[in-house]
Amino acid sequence: MIVDTTSRNWREKKIREWLLLLLRFAITREAEDRAAAHIFAEELDAIGASRRAVIPSFFQRTSREICDAIQAVGNPQQAAVLRTHIARIAEPRLRQAFSAALGLAKPEVRSSVHRRSRRKTHDLWKGLAG
């Protein structure tokens, strides 16, 4: 079986470029960056189609939803849209950057090493006569 890795890599690069455009809009919130993301989404939807669809396809629809959610970031329903989008991002650094740009980054969790060392310190005095 021969797999065309060139086209797969090309698609992955195009999708990554689209995600970076959405990230740029999340950071700047400028109309030009939103428009750039929408134009690129339209191009992605047009790939492989013999003619452009009248109704928006996945990338156009998703871009609109994400950009609307970014502009209404305080709205809990819109935050759910953003969390869904972030969960779809496969690249950890890009996912983390998007979360941070939107203020949705999870707080750092203390490592188990810290918990164990605190427990040992607490147990140090246990059993000593007072």
d(CA 43, CA 37): 10
Q: Can you tell me the distance from the alpha carbon of 70 to that of 83, in angstroms, rounded to the nearest whole number?
A: 11
pTM beyond 0.85, yes or no: no
Location of structure tokens 């305080």: 74
pLDDT in tens, 74-127: 788 888 999 999 999 999 999 999 999 988 876 555 555 555 555 555 565 566
Query: For residue 19, is it within any domain?
Result: yes
pLDDT at 7: 76
Instruction: List CB contacts of 37: < 8 A, sequence separation 6 or more.
Output: 18, 21, 22, 24, 25, 63, 67
Which structural domain range is residue 41 located in? 5-104
80: which 2 tokens? Answer: 């759910």
Is 2 a residue whose pLDDT tops 80?
Answer: no
pLDDT tens-place string over residues 25-78: 999 999 999 999 999 999 999 885 655 555 668 999 999 999 999 999 778 888
When divided into structural domains, the chain yields a total of: 1
In a domain, 120, yes or no: no
CB-CB neighbours of 37 under 10 Å: 28
